Amino acid sequence: MASAFGHVAVAYALGKTIQPPSLRTKRFWWLTAACCVLPDADVIGLFLGIPYEHVLGHRGLTHSLLFAGIIGILLPRMAVPDLVFGSRTYGMLVLFFFGVTMSHGILDAMTDGGLGIAFFAPFDSARYFFPWRPITVSPIGISSFFSTWGLGVLWSELLWIGIPVGLWLGALRVNAWIKWTNKHGNRPE
Ligand SMILES: [Zn+2]
């Protein structure tokens, strides 16, 4: 995996994109944070003796498009309880939670270690990486994270996740500012 910091940073940037801001309740943010790290619940399998390369192993089924799709369908009503099923907002949130869950596997596929991601599980058990893998893979377990390896992970994530996320958040701010000036005809103090 990329580290939990990397996954959460991307989920935060995606979450900030959701409009209107009133949708972004505490509940929304908790679920957003949960689904961006949820795929790594599969590390439990490593402790239960399920081999890494198994479809239920690490970076297997829980990192797949199908899994993200199921999460995408289940979460909108949990995030916004009075959401009308089939409404435009519902559809947007399905895509959003699918995207946040999938962002996990996408980041993992850009890491330089471990096995690839079973994007098409359970239909195809092949593991995939992207051709470009600049992110240093994060160790499994807390103790090995507090090491020079962990520092290397944070550095590579600052560069390859932190900067794009910062730029994206900056762009959202500029966009909000432009909208504000268009509406009010002058600039906020
Ligand atoms: Zn992962």
Section 77-86 average pLDDT: 92
Range of the domain at 98: 4-184
- Residue 59 inside a domain? The answer is yes
Q: How far does residue 2's CA lie from ligand 1's centre (Å)?
A: 7
* 189 domain-assigned: no
Residues 105-152 pLDDT 10s? 999 999 998 899 999 999 999 999 999 999 988 877 666 666 777 788
Specify if 65 maps to a domain.
yes
Report if residue 92 sits inside a domain.
Answer: yes
- Please check whether residue 134 is in contact with residue 156, taking contact to mean a CB–CB distance below 8 angstroms: yes
pLDDT value at position 145?
A: 63
Ligand 1: distance of its center to the CA of 59 in Å?
5
Which phi and psi (to 5°) does residue 117 adopt? -100, 135
Q: Whole-angstrom Cα distance, residue 156 to residue 6? A: 10
Number of domains in the chain: 1
36 within a domain of the structure (yes/no): yes
CA of 62 relative to ligand 1 center, distance in Å = 8
Alpha-carbon distances, residue 101 vs 15, 36, 48, 63, 110 (angstroms): 12, 5, 24, 8, 15
CB under 5 Å of ion ligand 1: residues = 1, 39-40, 108
pTM: 0.89
